[in-house]
Amino acid sequence: MNRQSLLAGILIGLGAYGFLALGGIPGAIIFAFGLIGVVLSGTPLYTGRAGVMPLRETGSLAMIWLFNVIGCVLLGLLVLSIGGEPVQRAQTVVAGRLAQGPWRSFLRAVGCGLIIDLAVWLYRSSKNVLPVLFGVPLFILCGFYHSIADVVYLVAAKACSWDVLWYYPVIVLGNYAGCNLRRIVLGESFK
């Protein structure tokens, strides 16, 4: 599972890199490559699993998150090594996110978690990638935060401030909360 989780992180990292390379609506659409790759390959992604895994499997979810992060660190380092406009965009993205403060960052992460969970849930029930193709640009254009993709932005921007210490845990928790809204609304079990 660790190798698969690493691959999921790399796929999301490629999508994030595509977003940084193109920016705007084209970049938001290209980002969907990452999540489409995840759902078609069946690789475990933190935001794809957080809304379906039982609470007793929190350790497994943490391992998925860890290896997703490692995959995105690798892509962030690639972006940083190549340099250019994607690095400048990453710096702009990170500065904007850190300026939001903890509460707004949490809410933006909840929005992302909800959209990603619904896109993956709809894909699983229909085997149609359209919810993913539309869901990813939706969360990006709404200005929502994805805890795995954000690792690419943080690494590429060389974000090493104290603000990152509050920011990153807040969006991981916000994604988790958003991923579980569907379960709460539908009355599904967390067991």
Q: Judge whether residue 26 has pLDDT over 80.
A: yes
Report the distance separating Cα 86 and Cα 89, nearest Å.
5
Inform me whether the pLDDT recorded for 191 exceeds 80: no
In this prediction the pTM is: 0.95
d(CA 98, CA 3): 31
pLDDT tens digits for range 48-99: 999 999 989 999 999 999 999 999 999 999 999 999 999 999 999 999 999 9
Instruction: Count H helices and E strands in the chain, helices first.
Output: 10, 0
CB atoms inside a 10 Å sphere around CB 12: 32
Kindly indicate the confidence band of residue 190, based on its pLDDT and cuts at 50, 70 and 90: confident
Report the pLDDT value the prediction gives residue 105, as an integer from 0 to 100.
98
Q: How many CB atoms lie within 10 A of CB 95?
A: 13
Q: What is the pLDDT of residue 100?
A: 96
What amino acid occupies position 76?
A: G
CB atoms within 10 A of CB 187: 6
> Rounded mean pLDDT of 109-124?
97
Residue 29 has pLDDT above 90, yes or no: yes
> What's the CA angle centered on 75, arms 134 and 110, to 5 degrees?
45
Q: How confident is the model at residue 188 (pLDDT cuts 50, 70, 90)?
A: confident
Percent of the chain at pLDDT above 90? Answer: 95
Spatial distance between the Cα atoms of 158 and 122, rounded to a whole number of angstroms: 36
CATH superfamily entry for domain 2-186: Glycerol uptake facilitator protein. (1.20.1080.10)
Give the pLDDT mean for 173-179. Answer: 97
Helical (H) or strand (E) element with 47: helix 46-49
Query: What is the distance between the alpha carbons of residues 142 and 28, in angstroms, rounded to a whole number?
Result: 10
